[in-house]
Structure 1
Amino acid sequence: MSQTDPFQPAGQPAPSTAPLPALLLLPGLLCDQAVWAAQSVALASLARCVVPDYGMSDSIEAMARLALQAAPAPRFALAGHSMGGRVALEIMRLAPERVERLALLDTGYQPLPDGSAAEHERAQRYALLATARGHGMRAMGEAWALGMVHPTRLADRLPGDVFEEILAMIERKSPDIFAAQIQALLARPDATPVLGGIACPTLVACGRQDTWSPLARHVQMADRIPGARLAVVEESGHMATMERPVAVSGLLADWLAAPGA
């Protein structure tokens, strides 16, 4: 004899007990769970969110392999911000069959340029590392992070604001981790060949005022990925997930709800 659940209204379907899909959120250079904190909360009813730690990994491939180990399911949605976007593209090279959908935010896909541009980037990164070793991670962040946010966010430096949260996140890392991640970025692979083979639903998003990973680069990237959707986050610099959390969470919720490949 069957019994009726007294808490379930007659004629209504029982709530689904299927597990939520998995969402792997990849942080960027010197970032941790804080860079995805708002999205982890906003998307909690839609996906099981996991933010991996790269430890002392000193290559994009090593970071990708660690992230794959941290994935909470055999198949998952994958979003990467900044350096995390490069890690996401490396996952697409290593294990594309595991990725159900892909989001690339404020990131890039090209390798270190040749000639003087490479030397300039190398010198800039090592100068920041010298500051971190000589004066501490927060002092380095005070100089480095100025160009990472929309200019209006620098007018009022108050406890708990976005810029202070970014500095606190940087301060939680060590100069040795910084050195390892610099090495990974200077040896970053060329992901151009990966883009054309991406076959899952893909979102490419960028802050309108991102000067670190400018919008033009994201237009090129979206053009190379079959069927990719390009979205612009208004009034935001490079740290869009923290600067415009509601807008970014909305983009990701729509991306999660879009039909699969």
Structure 2
Amino acid sequence: MHDPTLVLLPGLLCDAAAWRHQFEALSALTACEVASYGDADAITAMARAVLAQVPAGPLALAGHSMGGRVALEVARLAPERLQRIALLDTGTEPLAAGEAGEQERAKRMALLERARREGMRAMGREWARGMVHPARLDSPVFEDILDMIERSTPERFEAQQRALLARPDVRPVFASLRCPTLLVCGRQDAWSPLARHEQMRSELPQARLVVIEDAGHMSPMEQPEAVTRALREWLEN
């Protein structure tokens, strides 16, 4: 089989900067691309955009956060192209029913309103505080995350929030995976916690789970060497 194209799928309001270390290190192993979703406002539309921009042939998909959901949707749309998949700091369930779902919706809409009112960086300074290990608050990495958020717009933020609120239930797709599957989670991820990834591994026992120490939700940026090492092992084995 031909070597796959490694496709790095960013999370909410993330761009190629989120994968900078991994892209630079892993491009020596195989062809590597960082996907862009444009202004797509649905997970399926994002997955179709990914398939439209990557070259033909087998794919190794690595998705972070929202990108993990996009990776699983790509796997659903084009299972014949999937050679391996890595899911980082993510989840598989749809929006919860009832009060829990309404609370999530309200929080997401409040962040959107702040972005419209005060700008993307001001919104990011509030939102990203829950995305990193406490030791990285107001650190250079934190500022890099704010720079990345500021490069986006309230319109794109709204589109991606709509996509996440209407996210499909990808548990059946995840359970059907038969390729090498890697799960990665920051030990201190408060947004997509380790317990969620341990549950995912219990649903797919052949998956490998790697815990990234001293990292929150933004593990590829917070502990880039550790995440790159995990992805390298996944690609080589």
Quick check: TM above 0.5? yes
**Unaligned stretches of 5+ in structure 1?**
1-18
How far apart, CA to CA, are the structure 2 residues paired with 1:60 and 1:72?
Answer: 20
Q: Give 2:226's match in structure 1, choosing from 236, 243, 247.
A: 247
Instruction: Name 2:55's counterpart in structure 1.
Output: 72
Indicate yes or no: 2:144 matched with 1:165: yes
How many matched pairs?
A: 237
Instruction: Name 1:31's counterpart in structure 2.
Output: 14
RMSD over aligned Cα atoms: 1.3
1:202-217 aligned within 5 A: 202-217=181-196
TM-score, normalising length from structure 1? 0.88
Cα deviation for residue 226 of structure 1 reads 4.8
How far apart, CA to CA, are the structure 2 residues paired with 1:225 and 1:51?
Answer: 26
How far apart, CA to CA, are the structure 1 residues paired with 2:201 and 2:184?
Answer: 9
Residue type of the partner of 1:22? T
Q: Is the Cα–Cα contact under 8 Å of residues 21 and 46 in structure 1 kept in the other structure?
A: no
Cα deviation for residue 72 of structure 1 reads 2.5
How far apart, CA to CA, are the structure 1 residues paired with 2:44 and 2:4?
Answer: 25
How far apart, CA to CA, are the structure 2 residues paired with 1:101 and 1:22?
Answer: 10
Q: Which runs of 4+ in 1 moved over 4 A?
A: none
Q: Is the Cα–Cα contact under 8 Å of residues 59 and 184 in structure 1 kept in the other structure?
A: yes
Cα deviation for residue 201 of structure 1 reads 0.3
Q: Is the Cα–Cα contact under 8 Å of residues 210 and 236 in structure 1 kept in the other structure?
A: yes
Larger of the two Rg values belongs to structure:
1
How far apart, CA to CA, are the structure 1 residues paired with 2:165 and 2:229?
Answer: 33
Q: Give 1:222's match in structure 2, choosing from 186, 201, 205.
A: 201
Identity across aligned pairs (percent)? 60
Cα deviation for residue 31 of structure 1 reads 0.3
Per-residue CA distance 1:165-200 (angstroms, 9 max, x = gap):
000000000000000000000000001111221010
Residue type of the partner of 2:35? P
Q: For 2:158, what is the secondary structure of its paired residue?
A: helix
Residue type of the partner of 2:199? Q
Residue type of the partner of 1:214? P
Q: Is the Cα–Cα contact under 8 Å of residues 94 and 169 in structure 2 kept in the other structure?
A: yes
How far apart, CA to CA, are the structure 1 residues paired with 2:199 and 2:218?
Answer: 20
Residue type of the partner of 1:105? L
Instruction: Name 1:3's counterpart in structure 2.
Output: none
